[in-house]
Amino acid sequence: MDATAFLERVQALQRDGYRLLMINATAIASTEDVELTWSFEKHGHLEHWREQVPPEQEVPSVSGLYPFAYLYENEVRELFGVKVTGLNVDFKGQLYQTSTKVPFSAKAIRARLDAQKGKKP
Amino acid sequence: MKKTIVLMGPQHPVLIEPVVLDLVLEDELVIDAIPRIGYIHRGLEAMVEKVEYADFGTVAERICGICSFMHGMGYCLAIEELMKVEVPERARFLRVVWAELSRIQSHLLWLGLGADALGFESLFMQCWRIREGVLDLFDRTTGGRLIHSVNRIGGVRRDISDEDLAGIVKTLEGIGAAFSDVARVFLEDPSIRHRLDGLGVLTTEEARTLGTVGPMARASGITDDVRVDGLSPYDRLSFSPLTETAGDCLARCKVRVREVPQSIDLVRQAVALMPKGPGPIDTKVRGFPSGEAYIRLEQPRGEVVYYVKANGTKLLDRFRARTPTFANLPAMISLVKGCQLSDVANIILTIDPCISCTER
């Protein structure tokens, strides 16, 4: 993922009048990757951008362009373990108070499913 | 000057919602606010791992007790889109009736809490007395005052007879008349103006930059309202978003006051346009959903976005609800910075935060 090119694309969309609707993450069960989707909206039209992010990959923050994005980015970092860099507000893992670290990661989901089946996680 | 950190919440005498903020103060001036999410984080989204898609609506509507109906409706709309289900017209209008009743009761709840926060106890009681009439309508038509379980994938579980619909319109006329007296107090009373006028100002530009939604955005002059973006059957109802321009706490209060009669009128229009009953009110759904869907709705507190990813089995891959309070949190934090400690509760309250929705 080329951070500069990505942010330029976001900036172009912003100039075109799109607002950031949300950033959503989904853990991919078969790998440790996370599917990250940026959704934008303009007059009811939705635009979605998707990246499949491996655990070691860094993802640039869009909070420099959409200042409120920090909340979504802190969330995907804490709940899914995505390495978001360059946040304008960094809660340093203190936003969500959860008993399990990175509770929505593929690994944590597998552990829960194994526990449901009565297996040892 | 020495900084002091004051822990605000989760229990606070003014805020009914368990808002948790670390307030950094210099004397009485708030210079920073750090939110903490998780006090009531229940991991509801993760329950798609074990609750079948056909039953998940009952989980979705438990995200929040006030927006319960719309959470259930949003989830059902997402699955209906994935499975290409044609919902009967009468069911779509019935959903509008319940959705607007939800807005009325939510705004009345908030107005009562607002009055209580200002020390205006009699006004608080009047708001909640009127709200009881709306909750009674829910009780009669769905069987539940707050959790309704009336949405189902393909339509709704219960019909309302045409006589009862006429009765609802008549009851709402009475509620509207009673509310007009209360509304006058919110709009004209000097003690309310004194506490809210000019406080917590969010300009139109700031509201856009901080991604605000719903009445909070409309109080700053932004005309966004998902209902006018073509969601059926709102496209057949005559209305336009109600806005204010001052962007302060009073403007946010005014928007909600004005939206109550608007919602009453929308119920009246929906009942008038609804196909004659009884039914049909649902479409039989078979099989399993597959693919992805995004649904946007205008909840009482603002725009909510539902994302569903399905894999063709009985369990979904992902359910996500981006709630209006989640979108309004950055603006809330921004507004609190620079205000006096005594004003924090009022500013937070006028955002109408729902922490159950935010933390899910």
Quote ipTM for the complex. 0.82
Chain B CB contacts of A68 under 8 Å are: 209-211, 327, 330-331
Residue B9 to residue B343: CA distance in whole angstroms: 15
With respect to residue B329, please indicate whether it lies within any of the assigned structural domains. Answer: yes
With respect to residue B33, please indicate whether it lies within any of the assigned structural domains. Answer: no
Residue type, A117: K
Chain A CB contacts of B331 under 8 Å are: 68
Residue among A26, A48, A98 whose CB faces B317 most closely: A26
- The per-residue pLDDT for B329 is 87
Does residue A121 carry a pLDDT above 60?
A: no
Contact B330 A66 (CB under 8 A): no
By mean pLDDT, which of A44-58, A90-104, B313-327 is the weakest? A90-104
pLDDT classification of A119: cutoffs 50, 70, 90: low
B 213-252: CB under 8 A from A = 229-230
For residues B115-124, give the mean pLDDT: 88
| Strand-pair partners of A46 | A41
Residues B87-110 pLDDT 10s: 999 999 999 999 999 999 999 999
What is the tally of structural domains in chain B?
A: 1
With respect to residue B8, please indicate whether it lies within any of the assigned structural domains. Answer: no
Does residue B40 carry a pLDDT above 80?
A: no
Nearest Cα residue to B79 out of B100, B101, B103, B59: B59
- The per-residue pLDDT for A120 is 52
pLDDT classification of B340: cutoffs 50, 70, 90: confident
Distance from CA of A25 to the nearest CA of B (A): 9
Structure tokens at B348: 């937070």
The string of DSSP letters for A72-118 reads HHHHHHHHH--EEES-SS--TT-SB--SSSSTTSHHHHHHHHHHHTT
Which residue segment(s) compose the domain that A73 sits in? 3-116
Residues B218-262 pLDDT 10s: 999 999 888 888 777 888 999 999 999 999 999 999 999 999 999
Mutate to test the interface with A, among B318, B329, B359 (most CBs of A within 10 A): B318
What is the tally of structural domains in chain A?
A: 1
Structure tokens at A53: 């992010």
- The per-residue pLDDT for B75 is 94
Which CATH number is B142's domain given?
1.10.645.10
With respect to residue B14, please indicate whether it lies within any of the assigned structural domains. Answer: no
CA distances to A68, A76, B43, B238, B355 from B60, in Å = 25, 21, 11, 30, 15
Residues B175-220 pLDDT 10s: 999 999 999 999 999 998 888 888 889 999 999 999 999 999 999 9
B40 three-class SS? coil
Mutate to test the interface with B, among A14, A19, A22 (most CBs of B within 10 A): A22
Share of chain A above pLDDT 90, in %: 31
Length of chain B measured in residues: 360
Share of chain B above pLDDT 90, in %: 52
With respect to residue A10, please indicate whether it lies within any of the assigned structural domains. Answer: yes
Contact A21 B36 (CB under 8 A): no
Q: Strand runs (DSSP E) across B76-225, as ranges?
A: 151-152, 155-156
With respect to residue B71, please indicate whether it lies within any of the assigned structural domains. Answer: yes
* Among chain B residues, CA nearest to A79: B43
Pairing state of beta strands B155-156 and B151-152? antiparallel
In terms of average pLDDT, the best of B5-19, B44-58, B110-124 is B110-124
By mean pLDDT, which of A43-52, A82-91, B309-318 is the weakest? A82-91
Which residue segment(s) compose the domain that B62 sits in? 42-359
Average pLDDT, chain B: 89
Nearest Cα residue to B67 out of B94, B102, B96: B102
Residues A49-96 pLDDT 10s: 998 988 888 899 999 999 999 889 998 998 888 889 888 888 777 777
pLDDT classification of A37: cutoffs 50, 70, 90: very high
Residues A10-24 pLDDT 10s: 999 999 999 999 999
Residue B112 to residue B128: CA distance in whole angstroms: 6
Mutate to test the interface with A, among B322, B337, B351, B359 (most CBs of A within 10 A): B322
Residues B280-303 pLDDT 10s: 888 888 899 999 999 999 999 999
With respect to residue B26, please indicate whether it lies within any of the assigned structural domains. Answer: no
With respect to residue A121, please indicate whether it lies within any of the assigned structural domains. Answer: no
